[in-house]
Amino acid sequence: MPSHRRRHGWLSRRRTAVVTTGLIAAGLLSGQAAFAADAQTATVSAAQAYYQAGEGEAATITLTVTTSDSKALAKPATLTYRTTTGTATSGADYTTTSGAATFAAGSMPGARTTIRIPVRRDRSTETAETIPVALTPTSAGLTVGAAPTVVINANGLPYLNSKLSTRRRVADLLARMSLDDKIGQMTQAERAAVTDDPTTIANLRLGSVLSGGGSVPASNTPTGWVTMVNTFQQAALSTPLQIPIIYGVDAVHGHGNVLGATIFPQNIGLGATRNPQLVGQVYHATAAEVRATGVPWDFAPCVCVTRDERWGRSYESFGEDPKLVTQMTTAVTGLQGRRTSQLDDPDRVLATIKHYAGDGNTTYGTGDSGYTIDRGITTTSRADFAATILPPYAAGIRAGAGSVMPSFSSVDFTDDGIGNPIKMHANRELLTGTLKGKLGFDGFVITDWEGIHQIPDPTATADTAKPTAVQVRTAVNAGIDMFMEPNTAQRFETLLKTEVTAGRVSQSRINDAVARILTSKFELGLFDKPFASTDRVDVVGSTEHRALARKAVAESQVLLKNDGNLLPLRSDAKVYVAGRNADNIGNQAGGWTLDWQGRSGDTIPGTTILDGIRQVVPTAKVTYSADASAPIGKDDVGIVVVGETPYAEGYGDVGGPAWPWGTDAQKETKSLTLQSSDKAAIDRVCGAVTKCVVLVVSGRPQIITDRLGKIDALVASWLPGSEGAGVADVLFGKRAFTGRLPVTWPASADQVPINVGDANYRPLYPYGWGLRTSSIHRRTTPSIAGPLADPKTGGWRVSAAKFTSAGFQSVAR
């Protein structure tokens, strides 16, 4: 809703335009009316809404001119300015100031001039105060934008003293906050809800703002992000206590919202590397790129354990074994560093372990919101929950994770009977009792997107606005500290205040939540350095980070089959490349890339797998035909790149709804079985050549048993991200194949869900499977002497191997 000031400004601009046109038209003959309509008008606006100044300083306000025809000013444009009444006291806090500013004729659009508002030093300890500055046009045809406000910074208060401990600073600030201040800190709104009127941040005392998937500033560049975040921060610092906002994003495989950022392999691929140190490096690089754009908080990593390939978020998991996922919580230290003192470093951000807990274990058919499995119900005993679901969260907390995000899913403990599931956002036992109690989590809990809106409310009807009072009360009392209310922040705040006033939510619960949030803000250095700098924007998409991503891609590749030691290929090979995912960087990046659901096509900077082949082996003779319609040479080695198109969350569920706004490719039915076009490409190429390689680019295993006999070498490429050259590196022996399956590869869709340790475990390729090659051309060795794919039975057989909970391990080394 526009403020009164903005509405008044719009009316003033319209009146000015009408009057100007009327005056000119009155002095013209009727034949000159067309000229009148084209008369140039100009607008002068402050470059920003708020200007901070310390006591004894002067606020320098920058004014910018634009013209209606984008041409130089035809005549001078003059306006006057004067200080008006705010919360600061004239004569004591500042000197009443007025004057005029003129843009000379010939000034180009974008020209700037400045005015200065002196601030006095009264040496008293006080909160921030404001000085509105009125702008009035005096030239005909000139309008002015919204009036700027000078903010005299708070000073002398203990919580502003960086030499005090975080605990003392939090306690001092908390004691000064009103209930409105506290509830505001517990509220997070979406960027789009505050962009048109950033004063909303100040009016609601918002503690946080986020960008959802695909929610970006008008200029989707690193500098554009810094400018946006700083604009929101200026609004937050216009409030008396000047509590900064904390901005958050989903950077789940690199800073995916930002065009030009390095896009790393999705977590499922990182799990295949079996390299915790590399995962830490990947997330450290991600943190550096995120913080460089002015964002100090990442909603990552996902440390769920995926147990059903039909789940649309399975690629966000590092794997199906809690031991593997636990090892990969190095992602937390990669983001935050190993010590709390590192959180305010320019290459670190606050981590969020998610989705607590059990979202990867939900039962197919129990999904919520129209999905088949996403947001569904995990039915388990408390003992099994503790053994298979909680370990990665415990490890993430030990690593120092500063925030936790609950799952959309529910948990139904069998200990007290089946049929009474509890939404995680309402689960006091697991949020307060287990997470904050037994696991000792001392950070803050942030909801998922409108997460509390799914809490059952027996008093609500289909038409009841959300969130409801019951949902708010239940979630706060369950232990949630901050609420992601993208477009309903004001409603949430009103409801929570009513609940506190009525005594249904205690002041102590509010104080606990706010103290946790403030602690993180102090540790991130936001009070001492609230504004982001553009000094490090060059790290976004840097050569160093892309090299790291390329290495991660190479290590993530899992060689499932390699008959006759076909791989690695010779650098001078004659290759025929086909398949829809060979030259589609959007497909190989997957979901959470530029858009929430990802985007097929030529979407981000980087190299496709085809680009990578041409780059890595420039001497190879490469023929490319996406649909394999071009002639195939009898001596060609076929490389067919098949797999999935991008998806995220429930829209990726097998049997779930189609994403209605995506590309045609993204609207295809989600399945564990290859699409017909993929099968056709394999048939055409592998049926025409003597040696055929198939790469599966996907977020989960794809059923390929029926075509395995035609394939000489099979590679699980996962979703490699922006650096497709890493795939080519292992194909042509520049790096060795070392990846191992982080999830079981089923022989048929009927076997799903299938996980290591199951009874009658007969997959096509088991958990932990992966053949190795040497980086020296043509020398290959198996990494595991064990299960061998049998295309006749669709199962596996064991040779000289032993089975452990960690997968198949070689007996003969």
Residue 277 pLDDT exceeds 80? yes
- Determine whether 605 is exposed, middle or buried from the number of CB atoms within 10 Å of its CB (0-12, 13-18, 19+): middle
- Whether 572 sits among the annotated catalytic residues: the reply is no
C-alpha–C-alpha distance, residues 604 and 260, integer Å: 6
Residue range 462-479: average pLDDT?
A: 97
Contact between residue 308 and residue 753 where contact means Cβ atoms under 8 Å apart: yes
- Whether 538 sits among the annotated catalytic residues: the reply is no
- Determine whether 217 is exposed, middle or buried from the number of CB atoms within 10 Å of its CB (0-12, 13-18, 19+): buried
- Span 395-409, pLDDT tens digits: 999 999 999 999 999
Residues 6+ apart with CB under 8 A from 95: 118, 120
Residue 32 pLDDT exceeds 60? no
Residue 494 pLDDT exceeds 70? yes
Residue range 1-25: average pLDDT?
A: 31
- Rounded to two decimals, the pTM is 0.92
**C-alpha dist (Å) from residue 229 to 60, 216, 246, 528, 592:** 21, 11, 9, 16, 20
Residue with tokens 């490349």: 577
- Span 179-232, pLDDT tens digits: 999 999 999 999 999 999 999 999 999 999 999 999 999 999 999 999 999 999
Higher-scoring residue by pLDDT: 578, 788 = 578
The reported pLDDT for the residue numbered 52 is 96
Three-state DSSP at 582 gives coil
Q: What angle do CA 652, 658, 661 make, to 5 degrees?
A: 110
C-alpha–C-alpha distance, residues 324 and 340, integer Å: 25
- Span 640-660, pLDDT tens digits: 999 999 999 999 999 999 999
Which sign, positive or negative, has the C-alpha torsion 257, 259, 265, 270? Answer: negative
Q: How many CB atoms lie within 10 A of CB 426?
A: 23
Residues 6+ apart with CB under 8 A from 243: 173, 181, 185, 205, 207, 236, 518, 521, 527
Phi-psi region of 166 (alpha: psi -120 to 50; beta: other; left: phi over 0): alpha
- Span 68-126, pLDDT tens digits: 999 999 999 999 999 999 999 999 999 999 999 999 999 999 999 999 999 999 888 99
Would you state the torsion angle of the CA atoms of residues 562, 805, 718, 280, taken in this order, to the nearest 10 degrees? -120
The reported pLDDT for the residue numbered 662 is 84
**What's phi and psi for 600, nearest 5 deg?**
-70, 150
Three-state DSSP at 511 gives helix
C-alpha–C-alpha distance, residues 95 and 86, integer Å: 13
Residue 810 pLDDT exceeds 90? no
Q: Of residues 448, 457, 485, 653, which has the active-site annotation? A: 448
Percent of the chain whose predicted confidence (pLDDT) is above 90: 89
- Span 374-387, pLDDT tens digits: 999 999 999 999 99
The reported pLDDT for the residue numbered 35 is 37
Higher-scoring residue by pLDDT: 295, 2 = 295
Q: Residue 649: which of 208, 388, 431, 355 has the closest Cα?
A: 355
**What's phi and psi for 99, nearest 5 deg?**
170, -170
Q: Residue 655: which of 643, 668, 638, 665 has the closest Cα?
A: 668
Residue 775 — very low, low, confident or very high, per pLDDT cuts 50/70/90? low
Three-state DSSP at 433 gives helix
Contact between residue 325 and residue 351 where contact means Cβ atoms under 8 Å apart: no
Cis peptide before 301 (omega within 30 of 0): yes
Residue type, 620: A
The reported pLDDT for the residue numbered 124 is 86
Residue-averaged pLDDT of the chain: 92
Contact between residue 669 and residue 640 where contact means Cβ atoms under 8 Å apart: no
The reported pLDDT for the residue numbered 38 is 62
H or E, element range at 475: helix 469-478
Q: Of residues 129, 181, 649, 729, which has the active-site annotation? A: 649
Q: Which stretch of 538-552, 770-784, 790-804 has the lowest confidence by average pLDDT?
A: 790-804
Residue type, 734: K
Residue 560 pLDDT exceeds 90? yes
Contact between residue 267 and residue 552 where contact means Cβ atoms under 8 Å apart: no
Q: Which residues pair with 714 in a beta bridge?
A: 561, 694
- Span 694-742, pLDDT tens digits: 999 999 999 999 999 999 999 999 999 999 999 999 999 999 999 999 9
Q: How many CB atoms lie within 10 A of CB 173?
A: 23
Residue range 736-751: average pLDDT?
A: 98
